[in-house]
A and B are shown apart, each in its own frame.
Chain A
Amino acid sequence: TAACARIFIMPPAAAAAPKATAAKNELRDDGKAKRSDVRQSNIAAAKAVADAIRTSLGPRGMDKMVQKADGEVLITNDGATIMEYMNINHPAAKMLVDLSKSQDIEAGDGTTSVVVLAGALLQACQSLLNRGIHPMKISESFQLALDKAEEVLTGMSIPVDIGDRDSLIQAASTSLNSKIVSHNAPLLAPLAVDAVRMVGDVERSMVDLRDVRVTKKLGGTVDDTELIEGLVFSQKIQKLAGGPSRVENAKIAVLQFQLSPPKSDMESSVVVSDYQQMDRILKEEKAYIAGICKQIAKTGANVILLQKSILRDAITDLGLHFLSKLKIMLVKDVERDDIDFICRTLRCVPIAQPDALHASKLGTAKLVQEFPTPEGKIVKITGVPQPCKTVSILCRGSNKLMIDENERSIHDALCVVRSLYQRKFLIPGGGAPEMEVNYKLTEWSKTLGGMEAFCVRAFAEALEVIPATLAENAGLHPIQLVTELRNRHATGNKYDGLNIKKGCISNIHDLGVIQPLQVNLSALGLATELCRMILKIDDIVFTA
């Protein structure tokens, strides 16, 4: 904790002091000593961050409670999320945060493993540096080792067919199993797979996750999370007594104008001088709104999705009254950013002014219905035109912490499936790939000479951190298990890994704990890249 505290509280001042003053005094000092100091301090800082989130790796990883600056509390074991809220000041430690974000972009999962791996590799660097090996030499040897490791990983991967729903579900489950929502994996994994399969383009290997709209609604449990082929709104239907709450064979109008008294962009005021005028104004307002409502009804629309307006009321009570009479259902407060998604789902065109109302611009759906939940009502639109290339997920949870964690987990699972579209290979989890790379690299290093062999071996050893940490977090004996695992791999059992549930070693592939190859490749690649970057840095320059 001492090392940790240094990063958070005493920012880079400690590391930087020698250089900052040296530059100002224009004194020449012994460059070498200072440079190794900077490197060591960078490594120490990065390692401290890695140690901080090490305990949340794997299915038995612990969660962290994060209290944000505004006092709000967050519970998660998602590496990227934890690091996002750590107030990190040290530049090298910050790079570790970015590392986790990059892994999120690349693979969507493995955000903790990548940091733990980087920490272990940096530890290896440190001992190599202490032996007097030049940082450039270490850096190059690590690249060599990485190239070889990628070869090994690709070699042991298993091709997957995108049509094979079960394999995809297994992969998504592996990702979900290390989350708080792990016991809901049987529900969430197929859900994520189905969502991606619906919007994915197999031919071009592309999945645009923006075609999956995740809507959060508090109340219920994670078990109530569902996939909806259509749309779901977390707001209730706006209605006065008598308005419909269920419409079959809906004709839906997406409106971008407001059903409220007119308002000009220029500041305007209506001046009333006597009672009769007041009466007249009321009548006019009524006529104005009634006119618009009738125009809408004429197109045959029976459901309205109304865009939010910041300038004025989207709808007044008067408007609601008319719509209820006309048996038109209304959902208001639709965000402008969602309009494109909605229009693509319903195959309609948004209508920006009453003049432009036309039957051809309406969208259709079999059913629009309001459902009650403990925390208020929601609206679902189902039976949208086929083939549907967009999909909605209604994300539920019993409290705000749970629902946020649920959303993050779903996102991770979606990313995992997406990464399988891009690179159609799976690899077992449970530390099996790391141990296999460890074994193969150690063997390979025997064919190399000099410092390279030494550095490659150190790289290989660093990878043992994954199975060791998995075991440690599960309360198992890391040294014993890792040693046994090494023996198994030496005898050719390349899919053997840690069976966390049983606390023993078994063939992970047979257990069905599999994940996309992309996750491992990118984690190892990014961690090595970061290591090389930190090794290359020999100075911190401060500017205004």
Chain B
Amino acid sequence: LHTIFQMAAYDPSNTHANVLTDEAQELKGTDARLTTILGAVAVSDLVKSTLGPKGMDKIIMSQTQASGVTVTNDGATIMKQLLVDNPAGKILVDISKSQDDEIGDGTTSVCVLAGQLLQQAEQLLSAHIHPQTIVAGWRMALNEAKKTLEQSAIDYSNNEEQFRQALFKIAKTTLSSKIVRNAHDHFANLAVDAVMRIRKQGDLELIQILKKAGGSMSDSFLEEGFILDKKIGVGQPRRIEKAKIMVANTPMDTDKIKIYGAKVKTDSIAKVAEIEKAEINKMMKKCEKIAGHGINCFINRQLIYNKPEQYFAQKGIMAIEHADFDGIERLAMALGAEIVSTFDAPGMVRLGECEVIEEVLIGEDRMIRFSGCKAPEACTIVMRGSSQHILAEAERSLHDALCVLLTACKDPRIVYGGGSTEIAMAEAVDALAKRTAGKKAMAIEAFARALRSIPKIIAENGGYDSADLVSQLRAAHSEGMPNPGLDMREGAIGDMAELGITEAFRSKMQVLVSASEAAEMIVRCDEVIRAAPRAREDPHPH
């Protein structure tokens, strides 16, 4: 399939100008097109089977790390890990990533739609339709599709109760394709509750997700405030009300003098004892300074050794050592504190505050809960599940759901899922094709076919007769049935409004626009130039 145009040594009979360096490659014409289109289609085929509520999962296995096994259904996770050598394949991986960053969901859809468009393009190209004609037709089709999508969008933002319901349905639809399916009502509620708290702030960092193996998925819960998986020092208070908290990152063994080879010489044990004493005193002074801030809880990123621990215990200060970095950052944000490492100016330090700090039992573990934080939005979702694989996948799906909900909060319009909008768009685009004269009409029709293939793939993944279902869906649409879509539970056509299968408008729009942009970009390429790999120095010269 691939002819590689490799520049040989200078050959006067060669009519090509010798413009490329050795080892650089150039692919032209049909070869270039085959490489790009087939490459992209291969990537899209790989994730195709994960689409929809009955999509399959993949095992992602790392070849270097023995323990690195991930089981996932999340398009972005699969694509991120994929080793893709093909330039067009990389474009697909990129649009999937940007969909993940911008919306958080629809990462598989965008890739699959682009792949389907390219598959259609391949046929058009072999029928000798010029790429520019295809692009022109697609642009018209895209505009028509966008118009249809906007018309079908529903806005619930002026009714709080309905809006919450709408969010719940969106969360449920997103989660339905993931492993948490068995408990998706529960998880959808968790996600909606969490997002409703932070919708003004719009910062997902305020939602902490804590994974604890054991229990079942439905034991997962949302906890107001922040939970830290650490222990309180020995002999210190286990519960504090109206806490004033200092979050610090400082060594609590000794502040060593950082001069290389510094050494003390003495002539007696007593003097060594004095130095030891001085060192301890120095540390105690530091502790006093810390306590001098008027705090009753001290959280350190580093270890707190015995002596400071004892000091804090005497002062009735709760001291928590070795909080991990991520924990510290979030905690500082939730408590409204800053991370401190010098203690000379008590007035300048912003301390954290919260109503109650207490030990709680989660599963079999004792953890520390901070409730009534300064940032009232802060909350923690504690996820329970039987194994690490399931927890990790559940976290990914929950994260997707949170992202989509946040998007939906910003743009409260919703559309119906289950292939309903795709069919509506496809029909509108088909109608446009009929009105359009010239070869462009073929490209427009191809666009409609690509849109229709989305419900087809969803049905196929569920083990249903896809050709039959999609034709039924088309018929239902033209007969004027309200919001017809695929009911994947029954394997039949149903009313999406009744089934509550809804998606965020912005997510759908983004999928449509970036998939067609990517496909267009790939179709317009007529040549692939591959730079020579960077010369590596031979590590073992002979």
Known A261-B272, A264-B276, A277-B267; contact A256-B83, beta-carbon cutoff 8 A:
no
Most-contacted residue by chain B among A26, A99, A102 (CB, 10 A)? A26
Complex contact A540–B59 (CB within 8 A): yes
Min CB distance B529 to A, Å, is 18
Complex contact B264–A267 (CB within 8 A): yes
Known A28-B41, A539-B46; contact A91-B69, beta-carbon cutoff 8 A:
yes
Give every chain A residue within 8 A of B272 (Cβ-Cβ).
Answer: 261-264, 268, 270
> Which of A326-334, A405-413, A488-496, A529-537 lies at the interface with chain B?
A529-537
Complex contact A206–B361 (CB within 8 A): yes
From the candidates A267, A277, A542, name the one contacting B263 in the complex (CB within 8 A). Answer: A267
Give every chain B residue within 8 A of A26 (Cβ-Cβ).
Answer: 35, 38-39, 42, 86, 89
Give every chain A residue within 8 A of B63 (Cβ-Cβ).
Answer: 542-544
Complex contact A270–B267 (CB within 8 A): yes
Chain A residue nearest to B275 (CB atoms) is: A264
Complex contact B279–A353 (CB within 8 A): no
From the candidates A27, A136, A268, A349, name the one contacting B54 in the complex (CB within 8 A). Answer: A136
From the candidates B182, B213, B306, name the one contacting A105 in the complex (CB within 8 A). Answer: B213
Complex contact A92–B256 (CB within 8 A): no
Residue B203 CB within 8 A of the other chain: no
Size of B's binding interface in residues, CB under 8 A: 78
Residue A265 CB within 8 A of the other chain: yes
Residue A272 CB within 8 A of the other chain: yes
CA A139 – CA B237 in complex, angstroms? 50
Interface readout for B261-300 with A: 1 if CB under 8 Å, 0 if not? 0111111111111011101100000000000000000000
Give every chain A residue within 8 A of B327 (Cβ-Cβ).
Answer: none
CA A35 – CA B56 in complex, angstroms? 10
Complex contact B267–A537 (CB within 8 A): no
Complex contact B310–A281 (CB within 8 A): no
Min CB distance B464 to A, Å, is 8
Give every chain B residue within 8 A of A94 (Cβ-Cβ).
Answer: 69
From the candidates A28, A135, A353, name the one contacting B280 in the complex (CB within 8 A). Answer: A353
CA A352 – CA B63 in complex, angstroms? 48
Complex contact B306–A539 (CB within 8 A): no
CA A23 – CA B81 in complex, angstroms? 13
Residue A288 CB within 8 A of the other chain: yes
Give every chain B residue within 8 A of A89 (Cβ-Cβ).
Answer: 66
User: Which residues 349-369 of A have a CB within 8 angstroms of B?
Assistant: 349-353, 356
Residue A228 CB within 8 A of the other chain: no
Complex contact B306–A307 (CB within 8 A): yes
Residue A33 CB within 8 A of the other chain: no
Interface readout for B45-63 with A: 1 if CB under 8 Å, 0 if not? 1100100001011111111
Min CB distance A137 to B, Å, is 6
Residue A208 CB within 8 A of the other chain: yes
CA A175 – CA B366 in complex, angstroms? 27
Give every chain B residue within 8 A of A92 (Cβ-Cβ).
Answer: 59
User: Which residues 376-408 of B have a CB within 8 angstroms of A?
Assistant: 386-390
Complex contact A284–B268 (CB within 8 A): yes
Complex contact A542–B83 (CB within 8 A): yes
Known A24-B85, A105-B214; contact A349-B268, beta-carbon cutoff 8 A:
no
CA A428 – CA B234 in complex, angstroms? 43
CA A343 – CA B314 in complex, angstroms? 15
From the candidates B38, B41, B234, B279, name the one contacting A264 in the complex (CB within 8 A). Answer: B279
Min CB distance A508 to B, Å, is 27
Known A98-B389, A136-B461, A529-B386; contact A91-B265, beta-carbon cutoff 8 A:
no
CA A31 – CA B277 in complex, angstroms? 74
Give every chain B residue within 8 A of A525 (Cβ-Cβ).
Answer: 216, 386
Interface readout for B64-81 with A: 1 if CB under 8 Å, 0 if not? 101011010100001001
Complex contact A533–B389 (CB within 8 A): yes
Give every chain A residue within 8 A of B271 (Cβ-Cβ).
Answer: 270
CA A135 – CA B64 in complex, angstroms? 31
Known A284-B268, A541-B81; contact A256-B387, beta-carbon cutoff 8 A:
no
Complex contact B266–A266 (CB within 8 A): no
Complex contact B463–A271 (CB within 8 A): no
Complex contact B57–A28 (CB within 8 A): no
Min CB distance A75 to B, Å, is 26
User: Which residues 182-208 of A have a CB within 8 angstroms of B?
Assistant: 204, 206, 208
Main secondary structure of the interface of B (DSSP, over half): mixed
From the candidates A209, A265, A352, A539, name the one contacting B309 in the complex (CB within 8 A). Answer: A352
Known A268-B275, A271-B266; contact A353-B83, beta-carbon cutoff 8 A:
no
Complex contact B234–A537 (CB within 8 A): no
Residue B532 CB within 8 A of the other chain: no
Size of A's binding interface in residues, CB under 8 A: 77
Complex contact B273–A288 (CB within 8 A): yes
Complex contact B82–A541 (CB within 8 A): yes
CA A98 – CA B389 in complex, angstroms? 8
CA A536 – CA B55 in complex, angstroms? 8
User: Which residues 256-305 of A have a CB within 8 angstroms of B?
Assistant: 256-257, 261-273, 277, 280-281, 284-285, 288
Residue A143 CB within 8 A of the other chain: yes
Give every chain A residue within 8 A of B129 (Cβ-Cβ).
Answer: none
Residue B509 CB within 8 A of the other chain: no
Min CB distance B213 to A, Å, is 5
From the candidates B71, B86, B213, B276, name the one contacting A537 in the complex (CB within 8 A). Answer: B71
Give every chain B residue within 8 A of A134 (Cβ-Cβ).
Answer: 462-463
Residue A464 CB within 8 A of the other chain: no
Known A99-B387, A102-B387, A261-B272; contact A27-B264, beta-carbon cutoff 8 A:
no
Min CB distance A262 to B, Å, is 4
From the candidates B62, B214, B267, name the one contacting A273 in the complex (CB within 8 A). Answer: B267
Complex contact A537–B57 (CB within 8 A): yes
Residue A526 CB within 8 A of the other chain: yes
Complex contact B49–A538 (CB within 8 A): yes
Known A35-B49, A105-B214, A269-B265; contact A543-B60, beta-carbon cutoff 8 A:
yes
Give every chain A residue within 8 A of B277 (Cβ-Cβ).
Answer: 262
Min CB distance B382 to A, Å, is 15
Residue A106 CB within 8 A of the other chain: yes
Complex contact A343–B235 (CB within 8 A): yes
Min CB distance B457 to A, Å, is 11
CA A351 – CA B46 in complex, angstroms? 62
Complex contact A284–B270 (CB within 8 A): yes
Min CB distance B275 to A, Å, is 4
Complex contact B234–A343 (CB within 8 A): yes
Known A261-B272, A268-B272, A533-B57; contact A541-B387, beta-carbon cutoff 8 A:
no
CA A280 – CA B267 in complex, angstroms? 10
Complex contact A98–B387 (CB within 8 A): yes
From the candidates A102, A135, A285, A352, name the one contacting B463 in the complex (CB within 8 A). Answer: A135
Complex contact A543–B387 (CB within 8 A): no
Residue A340 CB within 8 A of the other chain: yes
User: Which residues 18-34 of A have a CB within 8 angstroms of B?
Assistant: 22-24, 26-28, 31
Residue A378 CB within 8 A of the other chain: no
Residue B439 CB within 8 A of the other chain: no
Give every chain B residue within 8 A of A542 (Cβ-Cβ).
Answer: 60-63, 83
Interface readout for A47-81 with B: 1 if CB under 8 Å, 0 if not? 00000000000000000000000000000000000
Complex contact B386–A541 (CB within 8 A): no
* Chain A to chain B contacts (Cβ below 8 Å), 14 pairs: A24-B85, A31-B49, A42-B59, A92-B59, A134-B462, A136-B463, A265-B276, A270-B265, A270-B268, A284-B269, A288-B269, A352-B310, A529-B386, A533-B71
Q: A262-B269, A350-B234 are in contact. List 7 more A-B contacts (CB 8 A).
A: A28-B42, A35-B49, A98-B388, A307-B306, A336-B306, A533-B389, A541-B58
Q: Which residues of A contact B (CB under 8 A)?
A: 12, 16, 22-24, 26-28, 31, 35, 42, 89, 91-92, 94-95, 98-99, 101-102, 105-106, 134-137, 143, 204, 206, 208-209, 256-257, 261-273, 277, 280-281, 284-285, 288, 307, 336, 339-340, 343, 349-353, 356, 522, 525-526, 529, 533, 536-544
Q: Which residues of B contact A (CB under 8 A)?
A: 35, 38-39, 41-42, 45-46, 49, 54, 56-64, 66, 68-69, 71, 73, 78, 81-86, 89, 179, 182, 213-216, 231, 234-235, 253-254, 256-257, 262-273, 275-277, 279-280, 306-307, 309-310, 313-314, 361, 364, 366, 386-390, 461-463
